Amino acid sequence: MTQNVLQVLSGQEVKPYPIWMMRQAGRHLPEYLKVRETAKDFIDFCFSPEKAAKVTLQPVERYDMDAAILFADILLVPIALGRKVEFIKGTGPVLEPIQVSDINTFTSNMSVVEPVYETVSKVRDRLDLSKTLIGFCGGPWTVATYMIEGKGSPTKEIAKRFAYENPGAMAEMLLVLAESSAEYLIEQAKAGADVLKIFESWAENLPPPMFDKLVIEPTKIIISRIREAGITVPIIGFPRGAGLNAIRYARQVDVQACAAGTDVPLQSFRNQIPAHIATQGNLDPLALRIGGDTLRQAVNNVLETISGPHIFNLGHGVSPDVKIANVHAVINHVRTGDGDYV
Ligand code: CP3
């Protein structure tokens, strides 16, 4: 059976545009919260294949999304590298900040993330063949920012300083992350992921030479390793907030789609990247939270700026306060021309 998402990723325009949403499995869904309550903590949740498979499937069951995205997190790879990671309610992820002297002491134990592959295979077994299962990892730079800063940071100043002042250690760390992320994605594909996505969520505010070293080079390594392993599934890159650097990313990194954050003018982006590379995005998540005519207009604005192979999505993730009726309305709008916004 054909998957419309795979058709788009092979370079074809498919209308209506296939649709899924980042963070579609999450706290805006009561059925997610119910399963979440039964898990000891967020990491335990990610490493519980039965529970993780269940919540991965929920948005496809409720909304008929065209793709399911594996329920896991980009910060599981640092755990496999021996780093302490905690998710604290109301604060988000907290890690033990890494020092330059720690770089040589990485111990990679990828068996820690094996439950994730079991989740993938359970989901693929249960998911309709017309639906696409997306596996993912974090971009090495984004994961490194969390490992260096110890938490999310608006400016990434500590991580950028680390990169300026310790280029050798930084390159080494990105290489370790690229190699382990590649292995992680290869195993997800072997377990049944149809597509792989690399979330480089903190690609903003980097001078171009730094962007090349910190984002483009490590991502190229991940993709080379995947292809060397004989894995042929399409790959979506998401250099969020990268501005014009995203054009170089799409031209130089061998991705089959480039996802765009909310700030990207899709029409001009489309015209500046190779025609066979699909785009994905980029509805403002805040418009989804506001709803009503604001949301209708925002969806129309995106639809008016896209052409060619495209997957409809947000520019970033669904937040816990999003109304279910508005997610339905966006999907109906994309598929039929309008939706019942509230
Ligand atoms: O639906 C999906 O997108 C699937 C799974 C997914 C999660 N995290 C689940 C999650 C994916 C693809 C991610 C990626 C991720 N995780 C990124 C990159 C994408 C992005 O959003 O920029 C980043 C930066 C992280 C790190 C992370 N994980 C943060 C900053 C937080 C806390 C923020 C928050 O919303 O609480 C998480 C936790 C997290 N990851 C949740 C979910 C559903 C919320 C956890 C909960 O239930 O309390």
Find all residues with CB under 8 Å of 121, minimum gap 6, and list them.
191, 192
CATH architecture label of 4-336: Alpha-Beta Barrel (3.20)
CA–centroid distance, 71 to ligand 1, in Å, is 9
The reported pLDDT for the residue numbered 103 is: 87
Which tens digits make up the pLDDT trace of 265-278? 999 999 999 999 99
23: CA distance to ligand 1 center in Å? 7
277's tokens: 């590379």
Q: Is the CB of 71 under 6 A from ligand 1?
A: yes
- Joined together, the tokens standing for residue 80 give 């496999």
Question: 22 CB under 6 A from ligand 1?
Answer: yes
The type of residue at 295 is L
> Which residue has the least CA distance to atom 44 on ligand 1?
26
Q: How far is residue 69's CA from residue 29's CA, in Å, rounded to a whole number?
A: 15
Does residue 317's CB lie within 6 angstroms of at least one atom of ligand 1?
yes
Ligand 1 atom at minimum distance from 22 CA: 3
Residue with the smallest CA separation from ligand 1 atom 45 is: 42
Check pocket membership of 24 for ligand 1, CB cut-off 6 A.
yes
Task: Give me the active site residues, please.
Answer: 23, 27, 36, 73, 146
Asked if 21 and 313 touch (Cβ cutoff 8 Å), the reply is yes
Number of H helices, E strands in the chain: 16, 9
Say what the pLDDT of residue 305 is.
96
Distance 53 CA to ligand 1 centre (A): 16
Full-prediction pTM beyond 0.85? yes
Rounded Cα distance between 187 and 199, Å, is 17
Which atom in ligand 1 lies closest to the alpha carbon of residue 59?
1
108 to 54, 77, 179, 279, 297: CA distances (angstroms): 29, 9, 10, 34, 48
Pair 141, 74: CB distance under 8 Å: no
Alpha carbons 297 and 300: distance in angstroms, whole number: 5
Q: What pLDDT score does 104 carry?
A: 83
Hey, whose CA ends up nearest to atom 23 of ligand 1? 74
- From first to last of the 342 residues of the chain, give the pLDDT tens digit: 799 999 999 999 999 999 999 999 999 999 999 999 999 999 999 999 999 999 999 999 999 999 999 999 999 999 999 999 999 988 999 999 999 998 888 889 999 999 999 999 999 999 999 999 999 999 999 999 999 999 999 999 999 999 999 999 999 999 999 999 999 999 999 999 999 999 999 999 999 999 999 999 999 999 999 999 999 999 999 999 999 999 999 999 999 999 999 999 999 999 999 999 999 999 999 999 999 999 999 999 999 999 999 999 999 999 999 999 999 999 999 999 999 999
| Substitution site in 73, 136, 141 for ligand 1 pocket (most atoms within 8 Å of beta carbon) | 73
Coil, helix or strand for 283? strand
Query: Which protein residue's CA is at the shortest distance from atom 39 of ligand 1?
Result: 73
What is the spatial distance between Cα 113 and Cα 108, in angstroms, rounded to a whole number?
11
Q: Which residues contact 10 (CB under 8 A, 6 or more apart)?
A: 234, 256
Please choose, from the candidates 251, 236, 252, the residue with its C-alpha nearest in 3D space to the C-alpha of residue 309.
236
Query: Could you read off the pLDDT of 1-35 as tens digits, one per residue?
Result: 799 999 999 999 999 999 999 999 999 999 999 99
Place of tokens 């799409």: 250
Q: Which ligand 1 atom sits closest to the C-alpha of 27?
A: 47
pLDDT score of 81? 96
Nearest atom (ligand 1) to Cα of 26: 43
Sorted by where each begins, the domain ranges of the chain are 4-336
d(CA 272, CA 251): 9
Q: What digits encode the pLDDT tens for the residues 176-215?
A: 999 999 999 999 999 999 999 999 999 999 999 999 999 9
